[in-house]
């Protein structure tokens, strides 16, 4: 019985994927964010937290995302992800609060500490902007830390 359990554990663990980095720091730009500092922290083999701070319209905003990520078969280091989170900031001296969703793809180079991500998704303005619903997206280039 112990041998069977051992073989099952080894088999399952061979199919478990995780990112090749623990934290990535860099820049992310796009819409509605105009660009800023971006940090992505791997929480488990299938989850991550992503934070950005930077320009937003004519103000400053902080965004946080909780993401679920899944590996793609080829090439090694290619993942797709989806997630949700809030954005809080100040635009034209008024409070901004929005809910954002993302669907994206990212690639981490195996021999060089670089991660590139491209995502898109809905933005629902809860406070502060005249447009209740918009669509956004971004491109991130990050340095990976093992």
In this prediction, residue 93 carries a pLDDT of 81
3-state secondary structure of 66: strand
For the whole model, what pTM was predicted? 0.81
Asked whether the beta carbons of 102 and 119 are under 8 A apart, the reply is yes
pLDDT at 3: 44
Instruction: Report, as an integer, the average pLDDT of 94-119.
Output: 95
Contact 78, 105 (CB under 8 A): yes
The per-residue pLDDT for 15 is 37
pLDDT digits (tens, 9 = 90+) for 12-34: 333 334 568 999 999 999 877 77
7 — pLDDT class (breaks 50, 70, 90): very low
The predicted model gives 40-56 an average pLDDT of 94
Domains in the chain (CATH in brackets) are: 2-145 (2.40.160.20)
In this prediction, residue 95 carries a pLDDT of 92
Q: Which residues, listed in sequence order, are joined to residue 145 by a DSSP beta bridge?
A: 23
CA gap 139, 146 in Å, rounded: 22
Question: What dihedral angle (degrees, nearest 10) is formed by the CA atoms of 123, 57, 144, 67?
Answer: -10
The mean predicted confidence, pLDDT, of the chain is 85
Cβ-contact 102, 66 below 8 angstroms:
no
pLDDT given for residue 31 in this prediction: 79
| pLDDT at 74 (0 to 100) | 83
In angstroms, rounded to a whole number, what is the distance separating the alpha carbons of residues 98 and 121?
A: 13
Q: What is the pLDDT of residue 19?
A: 67
Does pLDDT of 52 surpass 90? yes
């Amino acid at each position: 019985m112990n041998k069977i359990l051992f073989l099952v554990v080894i088999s399952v663990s061979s199919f478990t994927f995780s990112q090749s980095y623990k934290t990535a720091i860099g820049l992310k730009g796009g819409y509605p964010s105009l660009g800023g500092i971006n940090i992505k922290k791997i929480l488990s083999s299938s989850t991550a937290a992503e934070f950005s701070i930077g320009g937003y319209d004519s103000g400053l905003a902080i965004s946080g995302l909780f993401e679920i990520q899944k590996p793609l078969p080829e090439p090694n280091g290619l993942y797709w992800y989806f997630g949700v989170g809030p954005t809080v900031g100040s635009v034209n001296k008024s409070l901004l609060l929005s809910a954002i969703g993302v669907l994206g793809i990212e690639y981490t180079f195996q021999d060089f500490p670089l991660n590139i991500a491209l995502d898109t998704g809905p933005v629902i303005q809860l406070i502060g902007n005249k447009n209740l619903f918009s669509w956004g997206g971004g491109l991130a280039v990050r340095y990976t830390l093992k």
